[in-house]
Copies of this chain bind each other. A is one copy, B any other.
């Protein structure tokens, strides 16, 4: 996906809010949806975008589907941003 899909995914406020929620740990799709004034179908769509961007991972358990953050991709974004914010590429000290 190479940061292209990733940034597009991060561009949407709903998706960022979902990510914030997942900081607290894995959640079921239904519980995530319950936090929004949107249909479950819509939230499912956003989750699929996040998944496509590798920002979240899903794990099936019983008949639930849990979503959780995928930290490694955030590391990649971190590098991209650092190349603008910090120094040349390998950062301060």
Residues in B with CB closer than 8 Å to A10 are 7, 10-11
Q: Once the chains are docked, how many angstroms separate the CA of A84 from the CA of B10?
A: 13
Q: Once the chains are docked, how many angstroms separate the CA of A1 from the CA of B23?
A: 23
Q: How many residues of A contact B (CB 8 A)?
A: 22
Main secondary structure of the interface of A (DSSP, over half): helix
Residues in B with CB closer than 8 Å to A23 are 83-84
> Which residues of A, 1-41, contact B by the 8 Å Cβ criterion?
4, 7-8, 10-13, 16, 19, 23
Residues in B with CB closer than 8 Å to A16 are 7
Which residues of A does B touch, CB under 8 Å? Answer: 4, 7-8, 10-13, 16, 19, 23, 69, 71, 74-75, 77-78, 81-86
